[in-house]
C-alpha cells in the first residue's frame, strides 16, 4: 500500500504536512473544552462563585468549539485537494504505463481489468487519502493526547476505558480477517462485470443477430449477482462495527458515571474539606468521561478507515502491479540506418509467452527498397505474427530483423514508426472528424491538406468522403461505428499513406474491399507510391499475384519464396491456394 505513495508530489507532501498541523490544532481545541467544562462544574457547585466567571469559561469553551470547526473545514479543503491531485498523478502514471505496454502485457492484464484499475481502483485510493487526512491523522493524535490527559487520575476508570478499547480492537481484527479476502474478490468481480458489459456493447449486432439477448443477460446476471453477494457479505460484516462501538461508548459512559458515583460516595462527609474533595472528584469524573469518550471516538473514526483500507489496499496492489510491470519491448537510441526502405529477416524465430513451441521458425527473406512483397498462407500460418514482428509489436525470440541495415530493436519508437506505416487487420478509427483521423499522431512533419487529399484519393476514399455532409469535417463515431467496414478500411489506409512512411505494411487490410476497389487501390499504390516499400498480408491470390515477391507460410515456416509464376511451378501450397480461388485459365490470364 505504501509503495503507491512514492508518486506523491512535493506540493502534495506540503498539503499533507499542513493538514497534520491543522489536525493537531483541531485536536488541541477539542481536548481543551473538557477542562473548561470541569471549571464550569466546579464553579457551579462552589458557593460564592460569580456568574461572570461561569460565562467567561463558557465563552472560552465556545471559542474552542468554533476554532475546532474552522480547522476541520480547512483540513477538509486541503485533504480533498491533495486526494484529487494524487489520483490525477496516479491515473496519469497508469495511463502512460499502459500506453507503453506491448501486446504481450495487454494480454497479461486484459482490457477490462486495465479499465477497472484506471478508474475504480484509483477512486478507492482517492477516497482513502481524502478521508485518511481528516480521520487517520486525527484519530491517533486524539487517542494519545486524551490518554495522556487522563493518565493518573483514576486507575479504576482507566482500567474500564482500557477494557473498552481492547474489546473494540479485538472485534476490528476479527472483522478484518473475515472481509479482507473478499475485497480482493470484489475487484476481480468488477473486472468480470466490466468485461461482460464491454463485450456485449461491442458485439451488440452479433448478439441480436443470433437472438442471444437472453444468453447475455444471464451471463451479466450471474456476474452481477456474484458481485452483489460478495458486497453484501462485506457490508453486513462491516455494519456490525458502528453499532458495536456505539454500544461500547454508551456502556463506557454509563460505567464511568456509575463507578464515579461510587468513588464520590466513598468520600465521607466529615467537613468542608470532604465536600471539596467530593466536588473535585465529581468534576474529574465529568472530565474523565469526556476524555474517555474522545478515546473511543478515536477508534470509531479509525473504523471508517478500517472499512475503506482493505479495499483500497487491494486496489493499490492492483495499481502497483501495472506500474511495476516493465514492457518487454523497449526502444533503442538509433535514428537512422544505412538505406531507405529496406527490410530483412534473418533466421527469425518467434514464440508467444504462454506457448510451448515456436509459431515462426527460421524465416529469412529480404525486402528491397521500393519492392512489394506479399505474404500468403492458410489460416493459422502466423502471417499476422510475422507482420507484427516487422512493425515491432513483438520482438523476435531468435534471429534479427534489419530495417535499413540496422537491427529494428536499435531504433527509437518515434523514428521507427515514422519509417514504418502499419495498417492493422482490424480498421481502428477514433471519435472525431475525418481530418482528425487522417492527421492522427506524430508523423514527423505536418500533414497538409494536399497530403490528406492525395492519401484519400490513393486509398479510394475520396468519393465517399466528398459525399459526406461536412466532407473532411464530418464526425466519425467511436470506433467508426457510423461507417461501413470498407469505408473504415479505406480511411485507415489513407491515414497511414498520409504519413508518407518509407515502408507500408498492410495486415490483410484489403479484406473488406470489393475486387474492383482492391484492384484500383493496388494500381494506385504501384504508380503513385512507386518508391515506397510495401509488405502485404492477404488471403486473395488476386491481391498478391502481381507482387515482386511472394512469401508462402505453412505452419510458421516459409515453404516458398518467389514470384507468382515461380511459385505456381515450385510450391504446392501456393498452387493449392491459388487453384482454390481462381481457375487455371484465370491464373494464366492474370
Q: Are 365 and 314 in contact (CB under 8 A)?
A: no
Q: Of the given ranges (2-6, 60-64, 261-265, 386-390), which has the lowest mean pLDDT?
A: 2-6
Q: Which of 261, 250, 255 is nearest to 284 (CA)?
A: 261
pLDDT exceeds cutoff 70 at 104? yes
Query: CB count, 10 Å around CB of 224?
Result: 16
Provide the pLDDT for residue 304. Answer: 72
What are the residue ranges spanned by the domains of the chain? Answer: 2-324, 343-589
Kindly tell me if the per-residue pLDDT of 31 is higher than 80. Answer: no
**For residues 490 and 506, what is the distance between their CA atoms, to the nearest angstrom?**
12
So what's the pLDDT on residue 42?
A: 67
Buried b (16+ CB within 10 A) or exposed e, 411-431: beeebbbbbbbbbbbebebee
Distance separating alpha carbons of residues 260 and 304, to the nearest angstrom: 31
Separation between Cα atoms, residue 439 and residue 385, nearest integer Å? 27
552 in Cβ contact with 383 (< 8 Å): no
Mean pLDDT, residues 25-35 taken together: 80
Q: What ranges make up the beta strands (E) of 214-302?
A: none
Instruction: Tell me which of 174-178, 179-183, 306-310 is least confident.
Output: 306-310
Length of the chain: 590
What top-level class would CATH report for the domain 343-589?
alpha beta
Least confident segment among 11-25, 199-213, 574-588: 574-588
254-290: b or e for each residue (b if 16 or more CB lie within 10 Å)?
ebbeebbeebbeebeeeeeeeeebbbebbbbbbbbbb
pLDDT at 548: 87
Residue 590: pLDDT over 60: no
Which three cell numbers mark 309?
483500507
Instruction: Supply the angle between the helices 10-45 and 138-150 in degrees, to the nearest 10.
Output: 30
Question: Rounded distance, CA 307 to CA 514, Å?
Answer: 60
Given pLDDT bands bounded at 50, 70 and 90, which one contains residue 225?
very high
Grid cell listed for 18: 499542513
Burial of 129 (0-12, 13-18, 19+ CB in 10 A): buried
The answer, yes or no, to whether residue 226 has pLDDT greater than 80, is: yes
Query: Residue 395, CB half-sphere, CA atoms under 13 Å: how many?
Result: 16
Give the sign of the dihedral formed by CA 50, CA 51, CA 56, CA 58.
Answer: positive
What was the pLDDT predicted at 48?
66
Summarize pLDDT for 420-450 with one digit per residue, the tens: 888 888 888 888 888 888 888 776 778 888 8
* Residue 119: half-sphere exposure toward Cβ, Cα within 13 Å: 9
pLDDT tens digits for 336-361? 766 678 888 999 898 887 778 888 88
| pLDDT value of position 272 | 62
Helix H or strand E segment including 407: strand 406-407
Find the mean pLDDT for residues 110-114: 78
CB 432 within 8 A of CB 475: yes
84 Cβ contact list (under 8 Å, min separation 6): 126
Count the Cβ atoms, other than its own, within 10 Å of residue 204: 13
- pLDDT reading at 270 higher than 70: no
Residue where the block lists cell 515450385: 570
**CATH classification number, 2-324, choose in 3.40.640.10, 3.60.150.10, 1.20.1560.10, 3.40.50.970:** 1.20.1560.10
Ramachandran class of 93: left when φ > 0, alpha when ψ lies in -120 to 50, beta otherwise? alpha
First-last CA distance in the chain: 66
Percent of the chain residues past pLDDT 70, beyond the cut: 91
What nine digits make up the cell of 100? 507503453
Split at pLDDT 50, 70, 90, the class of 546 is confident
Q: What is the spatial distance between Cα 525 and Cα 531, in angstroms, rounded to a whole number? A: 10
Least confident among 185-199, 305-319, 531-545, 547-561: 305-319
Give 536's strand partners. Answer: 374, 506
- Interatomic CA distance for residues 583 and 209, integer angstroms: 35
Distances (CA, A) of 19 to 79, 143, 539: 7, 18, 65
Q: Could you count the other beta carbons within 10 Å of the beta carbon of residue 516?
A: 9
Alpha-carbon distance values, 353 to 85, 260, 316, 396, 553 (Å): 37, 71, 26, 12, 21
Position 44 scores a pLDDT of: 67
Q: Can you tell me the mean pLDDT for 4-19?
A: 77
Tell me if 261 sits within 8 A of 286, measured CB to CB: no
SS3 content of the chain, % helix, strand, coil (to 5): 65, 10, 25
pLDDT computed for residue 286 by the predictor: 74
Between 344 and 143, name the one with better pLDDT: 344
| pLDDT over 80 at 219, yes or no | yes
Characterize the bridge pairing of strands 343-350 and 398-403: antiparallel
Amino acid at each position: 500500500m505504501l509503495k503507491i505513495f512514492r508518486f506523491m508530489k512535493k506540493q502534495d507532501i506540503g498539503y499533507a504536512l499542513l493538514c497534520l498541523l491543522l489536525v493537531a490544532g483541531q485536536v488541541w481545541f477539542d481536548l481543551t473544552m473538557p477542562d473548561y467544562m470541569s471549571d464550569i462544574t466546579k464553579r457551579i457547585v462552589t458557593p460564592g462563585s460569580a456568574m461572570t466567571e461561569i460565562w467567561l469559561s463558557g465563552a472560552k469553551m465556545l471559542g474552542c468549539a468554533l476554532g475546532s470547526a474552522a480547522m476541520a473545514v480547512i483540513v477538509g479543503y486541503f485533504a480533498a485537494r491533495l486526494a484529487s491531485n494524487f489520483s490525477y498523478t496516479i491515473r496519469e502514471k497508469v495511463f502512460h504505463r499502459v500506453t507503453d505496454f506491448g501486446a504481450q502485457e495487454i494480454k497479461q492484464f486484459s482490457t477490462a481489468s486495465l479499465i477497472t484499475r484506471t478508474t475504480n481502483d484509483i477512486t478507492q485510493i482517492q477516497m482513502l487519502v481524502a478521508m485518511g487526512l481528516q480521520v487517520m491523522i486525527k484519530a491517533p493524535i486524539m487517542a494519545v493526547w486524551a490518554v495522556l490527559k487522563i493518565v493518573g487520575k483514576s486507575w479504576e476508570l482507566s482500567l474500564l476505558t482500557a477494557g473498552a478499547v481492547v474489546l473494540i480492537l479485538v472485534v476490528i481484527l476479527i472483522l478484518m480477517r473475515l472481509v479482507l479476502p473478499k475485497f480482493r474478490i470484489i475487484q476481480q468481480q468488477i473486472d468480470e462485470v466490466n468485461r461482460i458489459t464491454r463485450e456485449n456493447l461491442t458485439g451488440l449486432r452479433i448478439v441480436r443477430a443470433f437472438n442471444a439477448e437472453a444468453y447475455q443477460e444471464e451471463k451479466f446476471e450471474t456476474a452481477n449477482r456474484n458481485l452483489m453477494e460478495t458486497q453484501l457479505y462485506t457490508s453486513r460484516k462491516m455494519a456490525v462495527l458502528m453499532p458495536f462501538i456505539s454500544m461500547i461508548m454508551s456502556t463506557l459512559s454509563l460505567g464511568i458515571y456509575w463507578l464515579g458515583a461510587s468513588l464520590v460516595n466513598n468520600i465521607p462527609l466529615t467537613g468542608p474539606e470532604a465536600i471539596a474533595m467530593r466536588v473535585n472528584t465529581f468534576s474529574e469524573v465529568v472530565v474523565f468521561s469526556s476524555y474517555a469518550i474522545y478515546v473511543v471516538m478515536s477508534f470509531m473514526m479509525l473504523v471508517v478507515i478500517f472499512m475503506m483500507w482493505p479495499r483500497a489496499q487491494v486496489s493499490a496492489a492492483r495499481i502497483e502491479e501495472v506500474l511495476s510491470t516493465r514492457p518487454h519491448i523497449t526502444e533503442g537510441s538509433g535514428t537512422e540506418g544505412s538505406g531507405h526502405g529496406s527490410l530483412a529477416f534473418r533466421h527469425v524465430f518467434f514464440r508467444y509467452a504462454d506457448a510451448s513451441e515456436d509459431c515462426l521458425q527460421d524465416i529469412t527473406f529480404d525486402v528491397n527498397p521500393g519492392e512489394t512483397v506479399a505474404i500468403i498462407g492458410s489460416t493459422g500460418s502466423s502471417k499476422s505474427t510475422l507482420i507484427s514482428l516487422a512493425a515491432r509489436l513483438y520482438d523476435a525470440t531468435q534471429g534479427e530483423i534489419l530495417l535499413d541495415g540496422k537491427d529494428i530493436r536499435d531504433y527509437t519508437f518515434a523514428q521507427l514508426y515514422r519509417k514504418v506505416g502499419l495498417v492493422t487487420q482490424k480498421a481502428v478509427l477514433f471519435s472525431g472528424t475525418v481530418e482528425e483521423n487522417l492527421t492522427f499522431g506524430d508523423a514527423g512533419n505536418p500533414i497538409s491538406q494536399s497530403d490528406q487529399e492525395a492519401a484519400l484519393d490513393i486509398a479510394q476514399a475520396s468519393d465517399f468522403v466528398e459525399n459526406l455532409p461536412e466532407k473532411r469535417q464530418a464526425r466519425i463515431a467511436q470506433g467508426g461505428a457510423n461507417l461501413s467496414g470498407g469505408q473504415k478500411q479505406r480511411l485507415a489506409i489513407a491515414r497511414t499513406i498520409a504519413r508518407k512512411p518509407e515502408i507500408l505494411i498492410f495486415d490483410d487490410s484489403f479484406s473488406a474491399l470489393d475486387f474492383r476497389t482492391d484492384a484500383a487501390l493496388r494500381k494506385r499504390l504501384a504508380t503513385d507510391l512507386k518508391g515506397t516499400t510495401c509488405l502485404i498480408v492477404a488471403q486473395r491470390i488476386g491481391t498478391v499475384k502481381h507482387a515482386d515477391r511472394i512469401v508462402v507460410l505453412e505452419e510458421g515456416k516459409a515453404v516458398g519464396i518467389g514470384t507468382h509464376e515461380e511459385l505456381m511451378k515450385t510450391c504446392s501450397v501456393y498452387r493449392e491456394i491459388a487453384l482454390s480461388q481462381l481457375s487455371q485459365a484465370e491464373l494464366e490470364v492474370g
